Amino acid sequence: MSGKSRRKEDNFIDRGKHIKIRAQRILYPMGRMKARAYLIVAAALAAAVLLFGWTKTSAETTERELLSRTVATVDGEEVDVYLYGTRAVAGGYAFCDFTLEYGSVSVPIEGCGYGATVSAFDFLGDGNEQIFFAASTGGSGGYGYYYVFGLGKDGVTTLFDHNDFVNEYSAQRECDGGVAIFREGEKVLTFEPRTEGEKLNEPEVGGVNFVEPSYFYPENRYRLDVWQKVTDSAAYDVVGHIVTLIDLAGESGEFTAVSFR
């Protein structure tokens, strides 16, 4: 090897590029064909390592994790209720494949989301507690998954499913820019506009945005408040919410409005 080549190698070594120098010392004398062969082998080994690492990571995502636990009173006895899920991505915060378990009962729950929890509430007023499941979709709109399950020895009864909630409201823009809300063809309330200027899209009332249990003290039990978002021209232009009362033990349908000023 010439002095010029050695000086070039020494410069690389001074920069801390030891691996490259070793490759040059091995590959140059062997000729280009052998060098290419060794590079192909090295690339194959690197791909195998990456594949092994990916496979291991994928396997890790299938491991169940305990997400939430609560105790519910059923037929006078306390029942431990567990919520399990698997991470959508290893190291991530989103979970999928939710499973509600108690005793020998295991019930799958649809959806992938964040912050999934289960809590016990008496929605029916019969001394038994039902399970309220909630999880966020993680989107900027604040939507989520919500269920209420009644517990039985052989399985659960779904008392509330956000997918089955019927949106009875429609929206229409008025001449002064306000957003009128209609229910069964009748105008029930109006929201004032929050933004000025030309509106490119029509206002609308979305589906289930948020659900929360609310305590009904006269009967010592809980009901559900279902929030629906009312938007003007775009998803970010929220003029308010419609909150519908869902009574799992009686009549439902009462509503109120929450507006932004």
Query: How far apart are alpha carbons 4 and 145 in whole angstroms?
Result: 70
User: Do the Cβ atoms of 245 and 254 come closer than 8 Å?
Assistant: yes
The residue-averaged pLDDT of 238-255 equals 85
The pLDDT of 161-176, averaged and rounded, is 91
Sequential DSSP letters for the chain = --HHHHHHHHHHHHTT-HHHHHHHHHHHHHHHHHHHHHHHHHHHHHHHHHHHHHHHHHHHHTSEEEEEEEEEEETTEEEEEEEEEEESSTT-S-EEEEEEEETTEEEEE---BEEEEEEEE-SSSSS--EEEEEEE--STT--EEEEEEEE-SS-EEEEEEGGG----EEEEE-TTS-EEEEETTEEEEEEPPSS-S---S--EEEEEEEEEEEEEGGGTEEEEEEEEEEESSSTT-EEEEEEEEE-TTS----EEEEE--
Mean pLDDT of the chain: 79
pLDDT-derived band of residue 138, with 50, 70 and 90 as boundaries? confident
Q: Determine the pLDDT at residue 174.
A: 87
For residue 38, pLDDT beyond 50 = no
Cβ–Cβ under 8 Å, residues 94 and 114: yes
pLDDT at 193: 77
Structure token digits, residue 96: 């999928």
Amino acid found at 70:
T
Domain ranges of the chain: 3-61, 64-163, 169-259
Strands 64-74 and 77-87, by their bridges, are antiparallel
**In this predicted structure, what is the pLDDT of residue 8?**
42
Residue 194: pLDDT over 80: no
pTM above 0.75, yes or no: no
**Residues of the chain above pLDDT 70, percent:** 71
Q: Please tell me the predicted confidence (pLDDT) of residue 18.
A: 40
| All residues at 6 or more sequence positions from 2 whose CB lies less than 8 Å from its CB, including other chains | none
**What is the per-residue pLDDT across 195-231, written as a single tens digit (0 to 9) for each?**
776 676 889 999 999 999 999 999 999 999 999 999 8
Per-residue pLDDT, 26: 39
Per-residue confidence (pLDDT) for residue 1, from 0 to 100: 52
Percent of the chain with pLDDT over 90: 51
The fold adopted by the segment(s) 64-163 is Lipocalin (2.40.128)
- pLDDT of 153 strictly over 80: yes
The mean per-residue pLDDT over the stretch 123-130 comes to 94
Instruction: Find residue 246's DSSP bridge partners.
Output: 224
Per-residue pLDDT of 75-118, as tens digits, reads 999 999 999 999 999 999 999 999 999 999 999 999 899 999 99
pLDDT value of position 237: 82
Specify the higher pLDDT residue, 103 or 32: 103
